[in-house]
């Protein structure tokens, strides 16, 4: 599973690092998140999915297919207007 944080969407709420501190690191200046791993270790996959679903900005994208096909990132959660 691959994970990516969109730097344009991330607002530094820090929920991802509270849920999965091993998988997300925060910028010291503005608190914006970035993924620690390109390829998430299997033992952290559930935490990373939970972090993605908890992101209020929908800034975390995951790709559960780790093979060589083109990665198609899925939105972690749809927002309602």
Q: What is the CA radius of gyration of the chain?
A: 12
Give the CATH number, domain containing residue 25. Answer: 3.30.70.20
Q: What is the pTM of this model?
A: 0.75
Partners of residue 60 on adjacent β-strands:
5
Encode pLDDT of 17-44 as tens digits.
Answer: 999 999 999 999 988 999 999 899 999 9
Q: Is residue 72 part of a domain?
A: no
| Number of domains within the chain | 1
Q: Is residue 75 part of a domain?
A: no
Distances 23 to 17, 49, 68, 80 between C-alpha atoms, Å = 7, 11, 22, 27
Q: Is residue 52 part of a domain?
A: yes
Q: Is residue 69 part of a domain?
A: no
Q: Is residue 79 part of a domain?
A: no
Euclidean distance between CA atoms 64 and 51, whole angstroms:
14
What stretch of H or E contains 50? helix 45-54
Euclidean distance between CA atoms 37 and 27, whole angstroms:
15
Please report the pLDDT score of residue 38 as a whole number: 83
69 vs 48: which has the higher pLDDT: 48
Q: Is residue 70 part of a domain?
A: no
> What confidence tier does 64 reach under pLDDT thresholds 50, 70, 90?
low
Range of the domain at 41: 2-63
Q: Is residue 80 part of a domain?
A: no
């Amino acid at each position: 599973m691959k994970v990516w944080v969109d730097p344009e969407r991330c607002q530094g709420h820090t929920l991802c690092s509270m849920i999965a501190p091993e998988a997300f690191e925060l910028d010291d200046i503005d608190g914006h998140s970035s993924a620690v791993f390109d390829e998430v270790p299997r033992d952290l996959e559930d935490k990373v999915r939970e972090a993605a679903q908890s992101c209020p900005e929908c800034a975390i994208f995951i790709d559960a297919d780790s093979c060589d096909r083109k990665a198609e990132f899925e939105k972690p959660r749809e927002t309602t207007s």
